[in-house]
Amino acid sequence: MALILGIESSCDETSVSIVENGERILSEKTASQIDVHALYGGVVPEIASRYHLEKISILTKMVFDEVKIEPKQISAVAVTYGPGLIGPLLVGLSYAKALAYALHVPLIGVNHIIGHLNAVFLFDKTIVFPCLVLMVSGAHTEIFHMRSMNDFSVLGKSIDDAAGESFDKVARMLGLPYPGGPQIDMISKNGQPIYDFTKPKTAGKYDFSFSGLKTHVRYFLRDNSNVKIEDVGASFQETVSSMLVDKIVLAAKEYRIKDIIVAGGVAANSAIRRKTEEAGKSYGLSFHFPPIKYCTDNASMIAAAGWYDYKAGRFADLELNAVPNLEV
């Protein structure tokens, strides 16, 4: 039995978890900073770092107390070392290094994006390789060809804004609070997608571009002052979800792959889930999502990802540094 302590602090959630054998969450504690950063309309890195410092040791004690084990009983410490905000990353990484050193256990550095994938594998054992991955978050929008747990290739990505970033920016145009994605999703339930927003074209067949769409919405709002924000939100959300699903379906057809993972914070969006369900029925595809709770950042996905490295003996040394722009 391997008990992996996971630590996540890449942005505005401080999270600590203990996961057994990469599949059973024994305890997870997460402290969100959404209310703090909502005052500023977005994440303030310095404030986020201070908040992580305040919470991380408290959460760690809480998970050990809940599981009723001593720290020396864990097998390894897995921690996000990128991508993310440099200050928040360093808080979690420094704490993880100190724990691993003090407890004489291996340190495992986890790519945050790989962590999001494992939020799906934690709960879904039916995925067949090779599969495709649609990663949609505040900072990343990418399509991967996944041949095994450790064999990836990038087929396409956003050439400008990420999907989640565009949601936040359009939400601000509509006067909605941070975080914008859930707010647009909520108001869209009372609106209709009656406006035809442009889907930007890209040179790469699997690439995305959301900057032009965002600009279209801005000019539309400037020139049409009497529209309902619920209809604008629904129209924007419908356009983004169509762009995402159209590209992943295209990749599935060309690569002849049936299993598709959708992960990241934006994977919680109701329109994306609805459109993937429709595409699954139309094209015989199986879409795999994490539970809504595990779309957002959490330490269980980091511990689960770390377990695969633990099995393979892939450990980091104490010189491991944070890499804000880390890629898969």
**Known binding positions:** 112, 116, 135-139, 168, 181, 185, 269, 297
Token digits for 67? 């599981």
Binding residues for Fe cation: 112, 116, 297
Interhelix angle 229-255/163-173, rounded to 10 degrees, is 170
Nearest residue to 161 (alpha-carbon basis) of 207, 223, 228, 224: 207
Report cis status (omega within 30 of 0) of the bond before 179.
yes
**DSSP labels, 135-189:** EE-SS-EEEEEEEETTEEEEEEEBSSS-HHHHHHHHHHHTTPPSSHHHHHHHHHT
Q: Which amino acid is at 283?
A: Y
Distance of CA 221 to the CA centre of its chain: 29
Binding residues for substrate: 135-139, 168, 181, 185, 269
Question: In sequence order, which ranges of 174-228 are alpha helices (DSSP H)?
Answer: 180-188, 211-223
